[in-house]
Structure 1
Amino acid sequence: MKYFLILLTSLLIFTGCSSKKYFEVDDTLGDYETNITSLDDNILSFNKDGATLENGEVITKRGVSDFKLPEGFEFINISDNIIISTNYLGKVLLNKSEIDFKTGVVAATLKNDILAIVFMDNSISLYNTKTKKILMKEYYSKSLANDTRIANPYFMGNLILFPTLDGKIIVVNARTNKVIRTIVVDADGKFNNIIFLNVVNDSLIAATTNKIVSVGAGAVNLKKYSIRDIISHDNDIYIATIDGQIIKTDISLNVQNRRKYKYAKFYALAYGNSLYALESQGYLINISNDFNTEKIYNFSFDQEDKVIAIGNTFYLNNEYFTVK
């Protein structure tokens, strides 16, 4: 009986492993021809706005920077030509200028002398870097588990948009420093922090890993997707889903086109002259702007690598390349 149970267990394990499906392509256009540039070190951490290398160098939306962070600090954002970083223990650096807070900071954006902050305890604040005074502080429900791609606050004219760790967008009047609206993107699930926040053609687009919302022209549109990655380009939104779909929507989240890749696991999306998607089994998929055609290239990389895409550039652990 004991040996039967061992055999049965072995068969179940083998069957489980052998039944796992992967994205496969019968024929490709060969290797993707591009100039791959080495980074000075491996990627340590990243968000939607950039990354920190293990040697303290940073990647921003402007590319690889020779600016170096002190040991223990990691990149959060770049705004007003100033690199914002934190040690997650309450200290924030604006380039080399240090600010001390009582709680760890996970997201921040600077405009003029005003620093908009999201703290680890899911509180938000406005801090005047010139007078060194807190202008506003609000507390929200604590979030015990978060996706590492935490979005940064966004200054939109006289409004400041705070992405929270519990799936909300808090709208603050920049003149009065008062909360004027709360937009619930995703009230369910553990990993429901905002991972994407942008304003596209006067419409607010925000997403968690489970939902995406568009707010504009008096209308609120909400869609459910299991999101692997999301980017915007011009007036279009591109979503890669866990079930292998690449979806193109307008700013109201109306689906314009979609393509399905069976068993595909997408790591990141980038946009050159058209859309590119990096797939886990060593493929780079280029989809035409009208979504009618595709080109699939071989592009091998280690699945353990930290991978991000910013604009038209993919960063993979210790190297990067730009798509056409």
Structure 2
Amino acid sequence: MKYILFSLSALFLLSGCSGKKHYEPIETSSNIELNKESLSSNIKSMNKIGATLDDNKIITKEGISSFELPEGFEFINLTNDGKIIATNYIDKILIGNEERVVKDVVIAASVKDNKLALIYSNNTIELIDMSNNKTLFKEYSTLSLANDTRITNPYFMGNLILFPTLNGKVIIVSGINNESVKNIAVDPDNEFNNIISLNVIESTQTLIVASPNKIVSISPKEILSKSYDLRDIIVKGQDIYIATIDGQVIKLTANLEEVSKKKYKYAKIHALAFTDSLYAIESQGYLININDDFNSDTVYDFSFDNEDRMIVIGNRVYFGSKYITLP
């Protein structure tokens, strides 16, 4: 009887293991150089545009810094003239070399024309005149207890300041009279609904906003939305590229029409990158290069620990304490 029970247990175990499905490309190519280079330490924290390392150096679009942030501070943004904005997640932010005391925990911030736009961890937003530290606008929103870690900074667009909140809204504030002119509900119903991406397609003045579950296109003519379970989103020129949780890579127009689509069975896509063409980084150790019309792709072996933090900035993929440069 004991032998029968053991056999049944082994059978169930084997069945469970064989039931795990992984993405397996038909073939891979070695026709690419993916030389891994070392960072000075591991990635400690990150957002869509930058990261902080364990040794307090930072990664931005400018590359890896030679300087270190003060102890306890972590990168959140850059000013238009290249100054670092960082927070200590307690009571201070750093703008360049200047420390400023704040009223609560800052998780996102932007600066333009001596105006400081802040988002606090309690979902309060504030616009401050930095010359006299006067509050120009402040609004309290519903406390959000569960957030996706990809928190997005406020965005200055002409005379408007766009605040992406933690509860699935974009609050638009006039920089002329410092009043709220519009509230856009992107994704008010899902549990994880903070804004994870906010981009402007300049040629059509179209705002592309995404939560983990929805994309919204806001143009002078109309507001459009589509639901997707997003793994990543990038906007390049007038095109939008998304990767979904179920292994799809999709190319969209600015008005969210699907131009091309490709599904990779059982794939878990970590991130997207765009150089001269689109790349999708798959968690089992593959780099998928997709041509512009999605008719063909090339898969390369790219080993990395999928538990590592990963961020893509430009043509560089940073992961753990390494990085590669895409062609």
TM-score by length of 2: 0.94
Q: 1:250 & 1:117 partners in 2: Cα distance?
A: 31
CA distance in 1, matches of 2:112, 2:157: 11
CA drift of 1:63 comes to 1.9
1:144 aligns with 2:136: no
Matched, 1:194 2:195: yes
Q: TM-score, normalised by structure 1?
A: 0.95
Q: How does 1:1-324 map to 2 (within 5 A)?
A: 15-30=15-30, 32-80=32-80, 81-201=82-202, 202-324=205-327
SS at match of 2:191: coil
Which piece of structure 1 moves more, 212-221 or 8-17?
A: 8-17
* 1:8 Cα deviation after fit: 7.1
3-state SS in 2 of match to 1:68: coil
Contact 1:32 1:299 in 2 (8 A): no
Identity within the alignment, %: 52
Deviates more, 1:24-33 or 1:244-253: 24-33
Alpha-carbon separation, structure 2, partners of 1:3 and 1:191? 48
Structure 1 counterpart of 2:33, which letter?
Answer: E
Shift of 1:215: 0.4
- One-letter amino acid of the counterpart of residue 87, structure 2: T
| CA distance 1:91–1:296, change in 2 (3 Å) | same
Deviation at 1:322, TM superposition (A): 2.0
Compute the displacement of 1:128 (Å): 1.6
Give, as a single letter, the amino acid of the residue that structure 2 aligns with 1:162: F
What do residues 265-318 of structure 1 show as CA deviations (whole Å, max 9, x unaligned)?
011111110001110011000011121111110011111111111122211111
Cα offset for 1:124?
A: 0.3
d(CA) in 2 for partners of 1:222, 1:27: 37
Tell me, in whole angstroms, the C-alpha distance in 1 between the residues paired with 2:306 and 2:199: 29
SS in 2 for 1:270: strand
3-state SS of 1:222 partner: strand
CA pair 297-130 structure 1, distance change in 2 beyond 3 A:
same
1:80-139 Cα offsets, whole Å, 9 max, x none, are 211000011121011221111121011001112111111000010001222112111101
CA distance in structure 2 between the partners assigned to 1:47 and 1:223 by the alignment: 24
Match of 2:41, SS state, is: coil
1:66 counterpart SS class: coil
Number of equivalences? 324
User: 1:10: how far off?
Assistant: 7.2
CA distance 1:296–1:131, change in 2 (3 Å): same
Q: CA deviation at 1:256?
A: 0.6
**Structure 1 stretches of 4+ moved >2 Å:** 1-18, 34-37
Give the SS at the match of 1:186. Answer: coil
Deviation (angstroms), 1:61: 2.1
SS at match of 1:296: strand
Aligned-partner residue type, residue 51 of structure 1 = A
Query: How large is the RMSD of aligned CA atoms in angstroms?
Result: 1.9
1: CA distance, partners of 2:272 / 2:257? 19
Letter in 2 for 1:286: N
> Conserved in 2, the CA contact under 8 Å of 1:108 and 1:115?
yes
Which runs of no fewer than 5 residues in structure 2 stay unpaired? none
